[in-house]
Structure 1
Amino acid sequence: MLENFIITASSSIIKFLLKLDLDLFLTASQLKHVIAFISAMVLRGYDGKVSAIAELSSHRHRTSVGHFLSKSPWKEKLVMESLKEHVIKRIRKLSETTGNPIYVIIDDTISEKTVPSSKAKCPTEKCGFHNSRLKGKTVYGQQMVTVMLRCGNTVLPYTIVLYDKNNMSKIKIAEEVIKNLPFPVNKGYVLCDSWYSCKALFEASAERRYTYIGALKTNRVIYPKGHERLGIKLHAFAKTLTQEDVSLVTARKHEYYVYTYKGKLNDLEEATIILSCPKNDIFNEKALKAFISLDNTLDTLDILNHYVYRWPIEIFFRERKRHLGLDEYQVRSESAINKYFVLLMLTYTYWGLEVSLDFLNFSKGIKSARKKVQQSKVAWIHEQSKAGVPLEQIFQALKIA
């Protein structure tokens, strides 16, 4: 009997989904929908339109695909938990085998949407106005907190949480994720930008035996010599420094002038804080950056080199908007959006673990993944031909009759 979808039973996508035990949570029909989504995202990119998914499945109409996202009663939370378990096991195994530390990278991004008309009957849920640090202005859309795990050059998405300011703050979301992590096998580091550098995450990281290293806002107060009683803000303190106070270091092929302070922060008794400026912008207040480490045994260069390990999350945001439809998805309900997030993470993890050996080069990985899908399609045609299926019937299945 002719199969209703063109991915063969030997497909690496199916093998990947079975590794996650998704057949325990999804029906055969639902699994076929998941396969179709991953195939479409990999083969042609995802533009947010369900019609792109329907084109790859001869027996599924666009409305059927939309129903799978918006109304089908599959348990996206169970699928997400299964994926999280798979990712953390993989990262911990790598850490155990290689001795490399585990990095927990936390950040957020905004999926911009059009501000709905006051007469709109079904506006997209969980939208609001958010401050975009990237654009330096307020934008309308959905904000999501993303956590990625890294060991060596293996970087995988761990969870995506849709931010709802009426339910839970971004700090609280990050805190809950950290508190539910297992202890690191070797060393472990939580890496965040300045928005997340606060006492709650400092304490949550320490509780789970992770060292917190993050950027720090330059309006934070320190208590260096001469300012022990009232303290001084970092940007004001930087103005008191001279050429003799700073050192030139090279981190990841870039040169920086740095000053290292070890002492009290306004909500910590002891921390290591680094003030940094690019070599060509020394003492330029706009170029001033601050970083914090709660491991006071680390030297300045170690802290900076650890912090740059958070960069892949910026690549993840950029590439999932470019290839996986993060800014373009058209589903409106919170449930459908969360299901889309799960499918996005499954796709990204699939190409990372099953296809590409270069976790830091998404474009290269997506090309390899597309070859895999195309090879599966050719293999399916070959199997149908060997089984004696009429050519016209194969054409119909491929929608080229």
Structure 2
Amino acid sequence: MFHNTIISDGISIYKFFKQLNFDFYLTKPQLRHLENVMNAMISKGYNGKISDIAELATSKHRTSITRFLSNSNWDEKLLERALKSYIIELIWSKSRESKQPTYLIIDDTISEKTKPSSKAKNPIKKCSFHNSHLKGKNVYGHQILVSLLSCDGLVLPYSIDIYDKESMSKIKLIQKLIATLPKPENKGYVLADSCKDIFNASEKAGYSYIGALKTNRVIFPQGNERLGIKLHKFATSLSIENFDLVTVQDKQYYIYNYVGDLKDRKNVSIVLSYPKDAFQKDGALKTFISLEKSLAPLEILTQYTDRWAIEPFFRDCKTYLGLDGYQVRSYKSINRYLIIMLTNYTYCKIYCNDSHHFNTGYKAAKKDLEKFKVIYIYEAAASGTPIEEIFESLKIA
């Protein structure tokens, strides 16, 4: 049929699977199922419904897509490992070529779900209430921890995990994640929220650390060596003359650099930052920490802005790849969907070799799907294929 014989080969999804060695871990029918899922995500703008995939699949796949995600005999961990190896090779090659540092960017998001009634027989597994900073309240769903690898403008997804507070703390999950990385080719930085255990895990893996720091952390500047003072109180004790005005990505900030101790960490560099038009206003202070004292304050801020790349990732996955709307219910099928989503995101990122932008690759891949649909109709008609058979293949019979 159309999607199984024309599109996949035409846009080299199968070749992409070969690069990832997915053909070592999936049977040919399973690879076809995977192609159907990825094609559906690209051609429709996936909202998480299995019915979207069924619309693009041949009739024999309508009931088997669900089985492929929930019960089919394949190991999603092997696909995850293969994808990670592929991402590492691309990023490390970029670092060798450009001599630029490598960044591991870590953050989380919430995939919000409707809370089921107490009588629901088959609720989505591992859902619970989580604090949403975006909405300022607790929401029901999955808290998803994501990491990206970045070097010299190339940003690719490395891992995705559902945070299950009953099995492992978020800090332990991040420590375990950092430990999977090879040593960086040049400098390497972990960009994440601040915690002593993450500091230590980063250094053990051969990486430095730059992250956001809570403004209630205690420091010990001159005059406060014995009891210390909280960062937000220290900031209000300074005058504007103590700050430097700098520009970061076309926005101006007043910054002050403290080099000294925290309670749980000695000899660090901390940058206190206010937007130019909100100096010492309530809630405006942001603080950042670097384990490298040699980095200039402006460089710390500039390096930290690489972390912002994770926000477009969340937005694109929720808009186009179903991260907010997925409706699979078992823990296994959810994990399988998330691995497929990362695979598809990576595929779209590298689809246009000259840009490595998701939106550019996604739109190009979608346009090529439409082109190959026209090619299929033309070639089928030229070969004498009955019109009803063409209608049936295109799901418009």
CA shift in 2, pair 1:153/1:96, >3 Å: same
TM-score, with length taken from structure 2 = 0.96
> What residue in structure 2 maps to residue 78 of structure 1?
78
Match of 2:245 in 1: 248
Partners of 1:25 and 1:11 lie apart in 2 by 22
Q: 2:361 aligns with which of 352, 361, 365?
A: 365
Q: Does 1:25 align with 2:22?
A: no
Matches of 1:87 and 1:62, distance apart in 2: 32
**1:54-133 matches, cutoff 5 A:** 54-133=54-133
Q: Percent of counterpart pairs with the same letter?
A: 51
1:262 match: secondary structure: strand
Query: What's the CA shift string for 1:143-170, capped at 9, x where partnerless?
Result: 1110101111111111101110000111
Is residue 399 from structure 1 mapped to residue 361 from structure 2 by the alignment?
no
Matched residue count: 397
- Name the residue aligned to 1:271: 268
1:378 to partner: Cα distance = 3.4
How has the CA–CA distance of structure 1 residues 271 and 333 changed in structure 2, closer, same or farther, with 3 Å as cutoff?
A: same
Instruction: Output the CA distance in 2 between the equivalents of 1:382 and 1:356.
Output: 29
What amino acid sits opposite 1:40 in the alignment? A
Cα deviation, residue 131, structure 1: 0.8
- Asked if 1:353 corresponds to 2:344, the answer is no
Deviation at 1:393, TM superposition (A): 2.2
Q: Secondary structure at the match of 2:124?
A: coil
CA distance in 2, matches of 1:74, 1:376: 30
Could you tell me how far apart the structure 1 residues matched to 2:356 and 2:211 are?
Answer: 23
Please state whether the residue corresponding to 2:323 is helix, strand or coil. coil
Any idea what SS the aligned residue of 2:81 has? helix
**1:398 aligned partner, one-letter code:** L
Q: Distance in 1 between matches of 2:382 and 2:337?
A: 37
2:184 paired residue number: 184
Q: Distance between the aligned counterparts of 2:59 and 2:269, measured in 1? A: 60
Cα shift at 1:377: 3.0
CA contact (8 A) 1:5 1:58 kept: no
1:339 paired to 2:336: yes
Q: Which residue of 2 aligns with 1:49?
A: 49
**Deviation (angstroms), 1:130:** 0.6
Give the 3 Å change call, closer, same or farther, for CA 264–367 of structure 1 in structure 2.
same
Which of 311, 314, 330 in structure 1 is aligned with 2:311? 314
The 1:389/1:40 distance shift into structure 2, 3 A limit, reads same
Task: Within 5 Å, give how 1:168-179 maps onto structure 2.
Answer: 168-179=168-179
Q: CA deviation at 1:210?
A: 1.1
Calculate the aligned-residue CA RMSD, in Å: 1.7
Native 8 Å contact 1:356 1:364 kept in 2: no
Amino acid at match of 1:225: Q
1:384 CA drift (Å): 4.1
Aligned-partner Cα distance in 1 for 2:137–2:354: 38
SS in 1 for 2:266: strand
One-letter code aligned to 1:27: T
Asked whether the equivalents of residues 223 and 232 of structure 1 are also in contact (C-alpha less than 8 Å), the reply is yes
Alpha carbons of 1:388 and 1:20: their partners in 2 closer, same or farther (altered >3 Å)? Answer: farther
In structure 1, what is the Cα distance between the partners aligned to 2:352 and 2:369? 10
1:308-358 per-residue CA deviation (whole Å, 9 max, x = no partner) reads 011110111111111111111111111000011011111100010123643
Equivalent pair of 1:8/1:376 in contact (CA under 8 Å): no
Show the counterpart of 2:143: 143
| SS of equivalent residue, structure 2 residue 182 | coil
Distance, in Å, in 2 between the alignment partners of 1:115 and 1:175 is: 31
289 and 376 in structure 1: CA distance in 2 versus 1, 3 angstrom threshold: same
Alpha-carbon contact 1:8-1:380 (below 8 Å) kept = no
Q: Is the 8 A contact 2:116 2:123 kept in 1?
A: yes
Which amino acid is 1:399 matched to?
K
Following superposition, the deviation at residue 119 of structure 1 comes to: 1.5
1:235–1:285 Cα contact (<8 Å) kept: no
